[in-house]
Structure formats: structure tokens, C-alpha cells
Structure 1
Amino acid sequence: MNLFYQTYPLSFFILLFGFIIGIGISIVFFFSFSFTLVLFLVCIGCLRIMPMLNFLDIILTKMFPKQIKLFSKNIKTSFPVFYPKGFDHSKKNIYMFHPHGLLSLSHYLNIGTNLTNWKDRETNGTTLSILWWIPFGNELLESTNFVPSNYDDMKNVLLQNKSLSVTLGGVKEMALSQDNKMILNISKKMGIFKMALETGTQIVPILVYGENEIYKVTPNWLLKIINNYALKFNLFFPIPTFDSCYKWLRMFFEPLKIPVKTYIGSPIQVQKINEPTDMDIVKLRESYFMELRKLYKETRPKTYAKELFII
């Protein structure tokens, strides 16, 4: 995996912004032909971003070795992972991260990079399928072990005897982010539990304290209106505040003052059922909710609400 992209997780958004600016210049000076040509070349894979990132990797690691090493160390310190005693890393699991937060940063760092002490490297993460259609999205997401969040692609990961990770609350949970409180939009989820039963894969609950706090959405009235409308189409535009971005940039010099802690729960054993009924699925889901609440009770910081809210 490319070291530059591991070290600078937000590089994708910077490169995407540059790409959009470049397209704009093409339109102004070369009109629609240049725009169409560039877009076509990107779509068919003739224009790729990874070679450029590999080139930047070589340059930056030689120019700023100490800074990159310090940044990596600060990430590891800022995003610790805690496993229960006797956790078996050799087994195939479905890891469920909660809450989603604004950017689901802990999910990405643990699964898409080697910057944390996450121990199960044979894990594929999931992300919105629409992200695979934006310029270079497919190439970048595949390089960080992510797959589209559709049923067939996710199930295929498990059939390959690999682990799968999801942020179960999805896009709608992004709008529910609150400091020191977990509101999980998971009460009606069925598909992931059906998948677990069909493949006989054990489920592992994960709670991340600090995910909601690290990035906060910009309090803009127009953005709020846009997001309220976009949620109807399962979309949300997570534009963080300047203060949130500053927190991230400070990690080039020091770790976060309040670490974002990831707690892994005990696995829930799942018996394989080729054609599970709705009753089978609901029963497994309720068992999961019970284990999730237990994990919250055991790991909840004093500043957090006493109850875990599942809606």
C-alpha cells in the first residue's frame, strides 16, 4: 500500500479538489472537447492517480523523514485500539464500528492503513458505493482494502475467508453526531445480520469514543438545508469546521489531546443458516444489541451519557 496515502489520509480530497480545478481550466480554455476527453480517459482507467502518489511517496519520505515518522507516531498515539483478553485474530469476523461520526475516521485509519495497532490486517472495509464513481475513487479505495457497501461485494469478502468491517449506522447516522453521546441508527438493520447467518461469520461490536468529537460539521444554514434534502437520497456533505481541520493538522507536531479510543467487544458466535428467516435475523440482531450495550457499560467514559441510544 502506498505510504504517502497512508500517512496523509486527506490527500484524496486535496487531489480531487485539484482535479476539479483542472477540469474547470480545461472547460475555460479548451471547451467541451478537452473536458470530455479527460473525463473519458479517467473513466476507462487510462489516467491513474497511484503512480503519482508513488512518486510523491519517494520524494516526501526522503525530504521529510522525521516529520512523516512523527506524524505516524502521533496517529498511533491518538487512535489506540483495545482488545478483550484472549481475542482470536485468526478467525474471520464481521467488525461493526459505532458511531459513524462525520468522517468515520477511526474506521478508515484502522482498516485502510497500518498506522494504528489494529491487528487483523486481512480485513476489507466498506464505504458508499457512490464513491467508486467519482474520479480516481475506485483506484484509491481498492488500494486501501475497501469494497463498495452493496450486499454481493460484501458477502464475497466473507466467502474469500477474509474479515469485513462496516460502520453500521451509515450516512443517516452522520447527521446524529453529538458530543459525549452515541445515537446509533441501527434498530432496523437486517442485511448485515442475514449475511452473518448465511456465511456463519461471528460478529464483533466496536465502540469508538471520540469519533463524534474529532470532526464537527460546519454550522452553516445553507449547508444544513442542503444536507436535510440530501439525506432523502442517502447522501450527506460532511464539511468539517476549521477548528476540526486544525486538530488534524496539529498531529504533524503532537498527538490529539483527547485520544479517540477504539474498544473491541467479545465476538458473537453465529451458526450458519443457508436460508435464514426474518425471525432468525431479528434474534441475532437483538443478541448483538445486548452485547453492544454491555460493551458500552463496561467502557463508557465518565463524560459520556449513561445510556446508549439505538434508534
Structure 2
Amino acid sequence: MRIEFAPLNVPLRRRLQTAAVLQWVYSFLALAQCCLAAFVLLALSDWWMGAVLYAGWLWLDWDTPTSGGRRSEWIRRWRLWEYFRDYFPLRLIKTVDLDPKKNYIFGFHPHGVLVAGAFGNFCTESTGFSELFPGLRSHLLMLPFWFRVPFFRDYIMCGGLVSSSKASLSHLVSRPGGGNVAVLAVGGAPEALDARPGALTLQVRSRKGFIKLALKHGAQLVPVFSFGENELFDQMDNPSGSSLRRLQNRLQSIMGIALPMFHARGVFQYSFGLMPYRKQISTVVGKPIAVSQTPSPSSEDVERLHSVYLQSLTELFEEHKAAYGLDQDQHLTFI
């Protein structure tokens, strides 16, 4: 394979963009393991009392990820995230104003490999979420597993990340006075295994838990489509039934997280590596679907609202796809 090296005269601005994304990829793939190792080493060292004190803090703070988290506006506004935004670049597009007196569930599609659009738009202020949607606070839902890792949990909560458990989502969308936005990557881990350039298949037909909670608490549903999300990485061929896919599904069932075999470019060369391609991501926030609170929704209520949601998501995609480089004959497929 011929290796294409990066030129030596790359502007400093682009080098800083690459560094910002590199630390994000590292945080996503390895920071949790490093934090866990640091805690173990601390517990085995002469500074073991620090580990004991942190364990006590962890016990007292255990429910915070399911109770709205603990966000830090200072960290969300780091200059670092502006370089992260400009690497792709990343944009957040509003189609209508949202009432800050209501609570919302944003259904984010597609999941992609590392959910770059959801992180950049809703866990940082680099694309101006607070200016576009004044009075609303965004919270990206993440697998509960990650909030059990010492130190790592505190860092990710600073960006507005919270547990994706039922209790966590219910807490957010039942807030009196409104103002909360729960961002849920609906396709979840299984969809990440199919994330590759050109993919338009969404795992959403059987995902109805968020619909039921929206009805139960009267939260407004908002479809969100992130154009370019699947263009960031290539992935090894893993069709359904293949040995690799069976292994991935097995590991996912055991650990609860997906392990896509992805690759793209490197830091100093463009031929291979784990850095995403520089592809524009345009995250379009659609119109809210009015939801009447139904404390005990029936299966018919859930099915009806789910159908309306799928129709709204389809309309959002069809309305905006031409503006972001897709052909008229490209359509979403729901499974």
C-alpha cells in the first residue's frame, strides 16, 4: 500500500485542529481505561488514602449520572472544542425555535462510529447550542457502564453527558418548568456496526422505549439528522452472518458496547489510522412533534406516536438531503 504523508508546511491552525480531534479519539477509546488504571495504582501506592476518599465520594455521588449530571460551562466552552469543530467542520442547523418552557427528547440519527456530531453539538458550545436554543440545556445520553469508571465519569459529566438508563431519561424530561433536552442516539451500539460511508440504514423500528417515556412525561419529540456522520470512518466488511459480525454481536451482548473495526487516516499520513476523515458534519434539528402527556400509554399510543416520529424523520431527511450533497434517489431505510 502506498502511504500518503502529510505535507510539512501544514498551517498551525490545522495542526491544532488535528490535535483537538486526536485527544477526543483518545478520550473515547482509551481514557476510561487509563483512569481505571490510575485509580488502581493510587490504591496500591503510599497515597492509598486518596483512593479511599475518592471511593467514598463515588458512593455519595453514585446517582448523579441519573439525576441530571454535573455539567461545567467552563469545560463546555474550552477553546479546544472550537478546533474540534473546525476539523470537520461541524455545524448545528436550527429549523424552528423551541419553547424553553418544555422538555424535549432529541432523537439523534445516525449513530455513526464515535457519535462525533452529537458530542460536538450537544456536549460543547462550539456550534452555539445555547445561542440557537436559549433557555435549553442539552444532555447527551451515554451507556451507564461508563459512569462507573473512576475519574472518567466526572470528566464526561462536565460536558453534559448522563446515563442512558430509563431513570435518567425520566428525570430529565419530567423537570418542572421545562428547559431540558435529552439527546438520544436512537440506533445505539448495533447501528455503529453498520456505520460506513453511504450508509442510510437506521435501526429504529424496534426502538420504542423513548417514545413511551415521551408520552408518559409529555416531552416533545424532535428528530435530528446528522448529515456526514457516517462518512468519517471506513469499516471492515462485517455483513450479517459473517464471522466478524457474529463475534461483534457476541461481545456486544456481553459488554453492552459495540466494537466496530473502523479505520480512516492517521496524524502524519492520510492512508490509515484511527483519525476521522475531514468530512463536513451538518446536524439538522427538526420540528418538534407535539406530545400529550399520557401517564399510562397503551401499546396503540406508542405505535401511533412512533409512526408519526418515523414520518417526521423521513420528511426532515428528504427536505434537507440535497443541500448536503445527497442525490434525490437516496432514501432512509428503517430496520
Partner residue of 1:308?
Answer: 332
Distance in 2, Cα, partners of 1:142 & 1:82: 25
Distance in 2, Cα, partners of 1:109 & 1:246: 23
Distance in 1, Cα, partners of 2:25 & 2:288: 32
Deviation at 1:104, TM superposition (A): 0.7
Distance in 1, Cα, partners of 2:194 & 2:47: 39
Residue correspondence of structure 1 range 126-205 to structure 2 within 5 A: 126-160=141-175, 161=178, 162-205=180-223
- Give deviations 1:27-83, integer Å, cap 9, x for gaps: xxx9x944995866654448xxxxxxx9xx9xxx9xxx8xx59726625x7111111
**Equivalent position to 2:92, from 52, 65, 81:** 81
- Give deviations 1:231-252, integer Å, cap 9, x for gaps: 233321246425176799xxxx
Q: Which has the higher helix share?
A: 1
Larger deviation, residues 163-172 vs 229-238: 229-238
Deviation at 1:114, TM superposition (A): 0.7
Distance in 2, Cα, partners of 1:21 & 1:274: 44
Partner residue of 1:299?
Answer: 320
- Name the SS for the 1:141 alignment partner: helix
**Equivalent position to 2:231, from 192, 198, 213:** 213
- Name the SS for the 1:109 alignment partner: helix
Is the alpha carbon distance of 1:284 and 1:222 closer, same or farther for their aligned partners in structure 2, counting shifts above 3 Å? closer
**Equivalent position to 2:297, from 268, 276, 286:** 276
Deviation at 1:87, TM superposition (A): 2.0
Is the alpha carbon distance of 1:225 and 1:191 closer, same or farther for their aligned partners in structure 2, counting shifts above 3 Å? closer
Distance in 1, Cα, partners of 2:86 & 2:258: 29
Amino acid at match of 2:155: L
Larger deviation, residues 121-130 vs 9-18: 9-18
Is the alpha carbon distance of 1:6 and 1:117 closer, same or farther for their aligned partners in structure 2, counting shifts above 3 Å? farther
Cα pair 1:6 1:114 within 8 Å, conserved:
no
Cα pair 2:36 2:149 within 8 Å, conserved:
no
Cα pair 1:93 1:164 within 8 Å, conserved:
yes
Q: In structure 2, list runs of 5 or more residues that go unmatched.
A: 1-18, 59-71, 271-276
Q: State the TM-score, normalized to the length of structure 2.
A: 0.70
Q: State the TM-score, normalized to the length of structure 1.
A: 0.75
Amino acid at match of 2:174: L
Deviation at 1:214, TM superposition (A): 1.1
Amino acid at match of 1:212: N
Partner residue of 2:61?
Answer: none
Corresponding residue pairs, total: 278
Distance in 2, Cα, partners of 1:243 & 1:292: 31
Is the alpha carbon distance of 1:247 and 1:216 closer, same or farther for their aligned partners in structure 2, counting shifts above 3 Å? farther
Larger deviation, residues 146-155 vs 218-227: 218-227
Cα pair 1:125 1:166 within 8 Å, conserved:
yes
Partner residue of 2:283?
Answer: 262
Q: In structure 1, list runs of 5 or more residues that go unmatched.
A: 47-53, 249-255
Cα pair 1:126 1:148 within 8 Å, conserved:
yes
Distance in 1, Cα, partners of 2:260 & 2:46: 27
Deviation at 1:190, TM superposition (A): 1.8
Is the alpha carbon distance of 1:89 and 1:80 closer, same or farther for their aligned partners in structure 2, counting shifts above 3 Å? farther
Deviation at 1:15, TM superposition (A): 4.1
Amino acid at match of 1:197: L
Is the alpha carbon distance of 1:36 and 1:187 closer, same or farther for their aligned partners in structure 2, counting shifts above 3 Å? farther
- Give deviations 1:280-303, integer Å, cap 9, x for gaps: 001000000011111111112444
**Equivalent position to 1:241, from 243, 255, 263:** 263
- Give deviations 1:221-275, integer Å, cap 9, x for gaps: 9976652321233321246425176799xxxxxxx75311111111111011111
Alignment partner of 1:288 is 2:309 = yes
Distance in 2, Cα, partners of 1:5 & 1:214: 16
Distance in 2, Cα, partners of 1:281 & 1:102: 29
Residue correspondence of structure 1 range 38-117 to structure 2 within 5 A: 43-45=55-57, 68=80, 71=83, 74=86, 78-84=89-95, 86-90=96-100, 91-117=102-128
- Name the SS for the 2:117 alignment partner: helix
- Name the SS for the 1:164 alignment partner: strand
